[in-house]
A and B are shown apart, each in its own frame.
Chain A
Amino acid sequence: MKTKKNFLKGPLTDTQLLMTITIGIFVLMYLLAIVFLQGGFLHVQQIFDMLNDNASLIIVSCGLTIVMITGGIDISVGAVTSLVVMACVLYLNGGGNVFMSILLALGIGLAFGLVHGFLVSYLDIQPFIVTLAGMFFARGMTTILSVNPQKAEHEGFTKLRETQIIIPWLGYTAKNGNVVPARIEIGVLVAIFCLIVVFLILTFHKLGRGFYAIGGNQTSALMLGINVKKTRFFAYIFSGLLSGISGFVLMMHTGAGNATNAAGMEMNAIASSIIGGTLLTGGVGNVIGTFFGTLTLTTIKKIVVSSGLNDPWWQSITTGGMLCFFILLQSVVLSRRNKNKKAA
């Protein structure tokens, strides 16, 4: 009986509603792209390419979503990713082995997460300032390590990097008659693995429910017996660790360390999370939504490029416009809902 009543009032929570909107719009946009700009959008490879190019962004956005659910922000993620790429490439070129470089990547990410988490949750400093300093530090360290781009020339790593999963039956026939099979990079598998793990933690684990609780209302979370400081601490550790993983994935994608790697990634990650229905005020959000947010963002860019708006400024102007549209849509939907709730 009770569930039925809730169902009538509104079958979805805020999180689910915003997520559904995102997925709906993504599907709609993709269909529009197929109809109006046939081109490559019909091939499965188009989706795989989007995943291949954005594996590291997806991973970073997952971490950021966790932090944003707790009501905080982590703008250091892009810089940490870039630092990890540079450090790992230098380590590999200096004669290290692949396994140790993975540990190095995780270690750097974890270190940033620990410091951020400690400063934010135990010393009560504003997360924006702490992670801004973290961003400056990571960007500065990257150039201190090397100003010039470094290419990874390690044999084992090159093998790992060139490993791709090939699915012939999803391929397409090119104009010259060759069959081009569909290709997925290993990074995508890592990204999807991270996505599932984060999703399971957020949905079923005590810690994950704690993230939502302290993001929704810190005082009531405290009264429920949740260790607010520790929970927040863990959120930043997750974000740091995922930045480390994302760095390694980006290195597998690009194969070189560069001071401008992952430039602006933090803003792309924030945009993905927002489009995916995460609120910066905390308490609302989901990584599945974030995943579709990333895809939506990429689809917008692809549509702009393939629809012939070749001037360099159109891509970011339309991205900004879409961002504006999503933000307004969410704001209107949520305020309507709140009004309905109050009326009921």
Chain B
Amino acid sequence: MKNKSKNIFKGGLGQLTIPIIAICLLVIFNLIRDPSFFSIGITHNNDGNIVLAGNLISIINAASELAVLAMGMTLVTAASGGQDISVGAAAAIAGSAFVKVLKSGSGITGGTVLLAFLVACVVAMLFGAFNGTLVAVFKIQPMIATLILYTCGRSIAYWINGGATPTVSGSILTAIGSFIPGIPIPTPVIIVIVVAIIFRLVFHFTSLELFTQSVGINGSAARLNGINSTWIKLLSFIILGLCVAVAGVISVCRLGLINHETILLDVEMDAILAVAIGGNSLGGGKFKISGSIIGAYVIHMLTITLYAMKVSSTDVKAYKAIVIILLVVIGSPVIKSRFTKLMTRLKNKKPEASLKGAL
């Protein structure tokens, strides 16, 4: 009986309950406010391609960088029990490296773009390894360790750019940043799907997921069981580095320029939020990547909804904060246990009453 009722209140979805409820509420709210909010149209863009257009598409498209970062952040959070607050700065560095390589070549061809992307990946992974070493080897709390890169990362990007904000353009970059000719779905969305599939495959074919969770739940117990917890932590930061490079490159291609000050500004806070909204404990341990992805879309849908309600871009933060607080209060352990107790009491009353009635 007890077990059964517990299962019902977990909704059968476990930690995904809150993000899914949140996204449903936002959808319903938007449909009431403006029934045509989610209409999807087909238009021709400037290049003459047939593409999908509409609020929904732009939400999913704009949240791509955040979704990629949130996936990596989930892994770091789960393994180390802390968060990386340097992802925005590291993405600026990766983006700068990407642009630097593109600029140094003669022209922008498929080969140079691939080379630039690989360089960006290596650079971001190196910085990830730097953070990871501080956390895993020197046992420094992740927030403090990544504070170093947070402080100086954007300046390093500025230095790589040589004190300018260079622009890049080319048909391949446009294809990565917006649409591939002939495919109506925005390319960043496809990239997110590919990254998610890669994560899924990695978790399926390796024990990374299990190892990460056990390191996050109890590092020393994991070590006693033969898991190299130092390496797992370091690896999680390196994987986050890869995600950072992908996000940085998407952002550069989307805008066609690299501005060290504004590229993916405040994205670290949003990424951590996405992880938290996704029902993952920020203290490490069990995690679900899917929760974080939904969390990323919740954040962006909230932002776009507020924009659609004519809230100015600087004021959005205040309203966002109220919604976040409401979400975490609903999801807080104290409220949850009160609610469960209340429901159990109601549940227990009913059978008794019916029994009495029957007698």
Contacts and interface: CB of A to CB of B under 8 A. Distances in A.
B272 interface: yes
Contacts of A197: none
A313 interface: yes
Interface residues of A, number: 48
A119 B152 contact: no
Interface in A115-152: 119, 122-126, 128-130, 132-137, 139-141, 143-144, 147
A128 B84 CA distance: 12
17 contacts: A124-B333, A126-B328, A128-B83, A132-B272, A133-B324, A140-B316, A140-B317, A140-B320, A141-B318, A267-B151, A274-B147, A315-B155, A319-B152, A320-B148, A323-B151, A328-B134, A331-B138
Interface residues of B, number: 46
A140 B319 contact: yes
A32 interface: no
Given A129-B276, A132-B272, A141-B318, A124 B334 contact: yes
A321 interface: yes
A90 to B, nearest CB: 16
Contact of A259 (B138, B163, B314): B314
B140 A313 contact: no
B53 interface: no
B332 interface: yes
Given A271-B147, A313-B159, A320-B148, A129 B324 contact: yes
Given A136-B320, A140-B316, A328-B140, 16 more contacts: A123-B332, A124-B332, A125-B329, A126-B276, A128-B83, A132-B324, A133-B321, A136-B324, A259-B314, A312-B158, A313-B163, A317-B152, A324-B134, A327-B140, A327-B145, A328-B138
Contact of B328 (A130, A143, A319, A332): A130
A280 interface: yes
Contact of A143 (B153, B154, B314): B314
A140 B312 CA distance: 10
A20 B272 CA distance: 35
Interface of B is mostly: helix
A324 B148 contact: yes
Interface of A is mostly: helix
Nearest to A335: B139
A296 to B, nearest CB: 14
B155 A280 contact: no
A175 to B, nearest CB: 33
B85 to A, nearest CB: 9
A144 B315 CA distance: 6
Contacts of A126: 276, 282-283, 328
